[in-house]
A and B are shown apart, each in its own frame.
Chain A
Amino acid sequence: MPLHFELVTPARHVRSDDVHMVVVPGTEGEFGVLEGHAPFMSTIRDGAVQIFKTAGASPETIEVRGGFAEVGENGLTILAEHVES
């Protein structure tokens, strides 16, 4: 089962994808989100979000600033004010 991942900025919908795992730079440390993660909400510090398309694949990184991550039953949503891919 893939993880549904969305990256949204005020200006546009950057990403909406099914991926294997996403590593998010949380304020209190990085955390990886896989499918079936418990509901979770965290602010994130400025840094790179790593997206693993499949298990073991090399990650794709997207720089985010001023962000916020939410894990719900629909997957992971990252709200970021600025994104540099």
Chain B
Amino acid sequence: MASLKELKGRIKSVKSTQKITKAKQMVAAAKLRRAQEAAEAARPYAERLNAVMASLAAKVGDSASAPRLLSGTGSDQRHLLVVINTDKGLCGGLNANIVKEALKKARGLISDGKQVEFYLVGKKGRAPIKRSNVADVAEQFDTSDVRDPGFDEAEKIANELLEMFEAGKFDVAHLIYPIFKSALAQEPVTQQLIPVPPPEADAVSTGGDAVVEYEPGEEEILEELLPRYVRTQLFGALLELAASEQGASMTAMDNATRNAGDLIKDLNIEYNRSRQAAITTELIEIIAGAEAL
């Protein structure tokens, strides 16, 4: 059995760990609220853009002059998987789940005879994806130097992706990111990013049935809107990621705090028991000594 001093030391160390996890949990709870508000605030823009995109895409349709971002390169051989991970750990299985989803998608595409490359955002996805050896990492984007990845980062990522698309480095891009459902559940999803999938037509445009005038022209507007749409998608993904990270972190830290509590209780019982045992042995020795006299 461990000595009293050792037990005391362990209790102390577990207690300080508990303090850390508890603090991290409370920080995550506060940040989660902010992340959710940010996600909420981004919704009107995305909805409007969706509605406009839907009405324009329906008009321009499949005509030969449709922009390449909408119609694609005509082939779907080379795929790029844009995987969005967090930069920091301490958020339970979130990153593992995202990586799992990405690898599943990659393996599926490879078994269909496609070429797959990764574009990684965030630090935590790099090691496991490289180690898996499923496909090469074409590019990675570092978000670790900013506190809250926001629209500027989304813009940079989108511009890089669009450049790669223009340069003909890939035909299809998929975006893999977690969707925040609740603090307990974050679900990684795969979504096609480029070519832009035609948005749902049921998002009725605010123009109603009236004839809308376009300036300069429908196609020019669409051409300008498509990159913006890609940016908004990425921005939305970053926001979902932020909310998911804080949610997952909160849950994981709550568990850790509770575990530490249990551990402390067990250690305390063990400590008291060995202290009592020591006292009892001492008493027996004294009594035995007294009786011998």
Chain A residues within 8 Å of B, Cβ to Cβ: 8-13, 26-28, 38-43, 66, 68, 70, 72-74, 77, 79, 81
Q: Which residue of A lies closest to B37 (CB)?
A: A12
Interface residue count for B (Cβ, 8 Å)? 32
Is A81 touching B151 in the complex (CB atoms < 8 A)? yes
Partner of A41, one of B38, B208, B221: B221
Q: Which residue of B lies closest to A74 (CB)?
A: B206
Contact with A along B216-253 (1 / 0, CB 8 A): 10001100110010011001000000000000000000
Chain B residues within 8 Å of A, Cβ to Cβ: 38, 41-42, 44-46, 48-49, 52, 150-151, 154-155, 205-208, 210-216, 220-221, 224-225, 228, 231-232, 235
CA distance A28 to B45 in the complex (A): 24
A14 to chain B, nearest CB (A): 10
CA distance A81 to B158 in the complex (A): 13
Is A11 touching B150 in the complex (CB atoms < 8 A)? yes
Partner of A73, one of B44, B206, B214: B206
CB contacts (< 8 Å) of B231 on chain A: these are 10, 81
CB contacts (< 8 Å) of B212 on chain A: these are 39-41
CA distance A68 to B205 in the complex (A): 15
CA distance A68 to B231 in the complex (A): 14
CA distance A10 to B151 in the complex (A): 7
B172 to chain A, nearest CB (A): 24
CB contacts (< 8 Å) of A73 on chain B: these are 206-208, 210
B46 to chain A, nearest CB (A): 8
Show 8 A/B contacts (Cβ-Cβ < 8 Å), sorted by A: A10-B151, A10-B154, A11-B42, A27-B216, A39-B208, A42-B216, A73-B207, A79-B45
- In addition to A11-B150, A40-B215, A66-B228, 7 A-B residue pairs with Cβ atoms within 8 Å of each other are A26-B215, A39-B210, A39-B211, A41-B215, A42-B214, A42-B221, A73-B207
CA distance A13 to B214 in the complex (A): 24
CA distance A27 to B220 in the complex (A): 11
With A10-B42, A73-B206 as contacts: A41 and B228 at CB distance below 8 Å: no
With A13-B41, A28-B216 as contacts: A72 and B224 at CB distance below 8 Å: no
A63 to chain B, nearest CB (A): 16
CB contacts (< 8 Å) of A39 on chain B: these are 207-208, 210-213
Is B216 touching A11 in the complex (CB atoms < 8 A)? no
B147 to chain A, nearest CB (A): 15
Q: Which residue of A lies closest to B154 (CB)?
A: A10
Is A40 touching B213 in the complex (CB atoms < 8 A)? yes
Is A43 touching B48 in the complex (CB atoms < 8 A)? no
Partner of A8, one of B45, B208, B216, B235: B45
Q: Which residue of A lies closest to B151 (CB)?
A: A10
With A8-B45, A10-B232, A13-B44 as contacts: A42 and B215 at CB distance below 8 Å: yes
Is A72 touching B205 in the complex (CB atoms < 8 A)? yes
Q: Which residue of B lies closest to A69 (CB)?
A: B215
CA distance A66 to B158 in the complex (A): 14
